[in-house]
Amino acid sequence: MASDSKSGSEGGAREHAASGSSPARDAAPPNPAPFAPFPTLRTERIYHSRWCGLRRDWIQLKDGREQEYHVIEIPDAVAVVPVLPDGRIVLIGQYRHPHGKTHWEVPAGRMLDGEEAQLCAERELHEETGHRAGSWERLPGFYPINGISDHYAHVFVAKDCVRLGEHEPEDCEQILVQSFTRGEVEALLDSGRVEDVFAAVSLMYWLRRSR
């Protein structure tokens, strides 16, 4: 029986190699069973602007004690992986005021009130790179700072991008646009030079899906 099983496994591997198809991937395990949320006893709004807000919640712990929990309120955002017809990936070099660094990122930005995620992605792609996509594909999203905020990032790949003109950054943005081969993007990730979480997670999702 063991000999038959091994032979079948080897035969399946040879069939995949001959056909050029990728082996079937394992099914994703389920999420953990959810915990019961801590009751929120009261809330105080400390700060609010069109960019962000800060609130203080008092939650009740399992033993009955109260504890403060500070939550940053940020509108949801999009991140875009722009891919050219030849497979190169467009990145932006962007200066970031909070830490003073300029590093490689993907186009990204916050959604306006009532704005659909893909429409925001189209807007950000044009504003930050001057490109338009031939087609769009949605990738998994993520919570970049879920310990302190429910801020969520919707992720897209923009396929067959063509450049329509110059990018149009906001007054407080300093951006340059450059395209890279797949190998160069992988090298940037492996070297730790993609320090922006929106870029790192979005690029890794796309590189895994498109391999």
8 A C-beta contact, residue 131 and residue 82: yes
Alpha carbon distance 122, 116 (integer Å): 10
Q: Which residues contact 150 (CB under 8 A, 6 or more apart)?
A: 71, 143
**Cβ atoms within 10 Å of 5's Cβ, excluding its own:** 9
Convert the pLDDT of each residue in 119-141 to its tens digit. 999 999 999 999 999 999 999 99
Alpha carbon distance 84, 81 (integer Å): 10
Q: Which helix (H) or strand (E) holds 45?
A: strand 40-48
| Per-residue confidence in pLDDT tens, the chain, 211 aa | 444 444 444 444 444 444 455 567 899 999 999 999 999 999 999 999 989 999 999 999 999 999 999 999 999 999 999 999 999 999 999 999 999 999 999 999 999 999 999 999 999 999 999 999 999 999 999 999 999 999 999 999 999 999 997 887 777 889 999 999 999 999 999 999 999 999 999 999 999 999 8
Tell me the CA distances in angstroms from 154 to 141, 144, 177, 202, 204, one per residue in order: 5, 11, 22, 9, 14
Nearest to 110 by CA among 171, 151, 54: 151
Entry pTM: 0.85
Convert the pLDDT of each residue in 80-124 to its tens digit. 999 999 999 999 999 999 999 999 999 999 999 999 999 999 999
8 A C-beta contact, residue 99 and residue 175: no
Alpha carbon distance 48, 55 (integer Å): 9
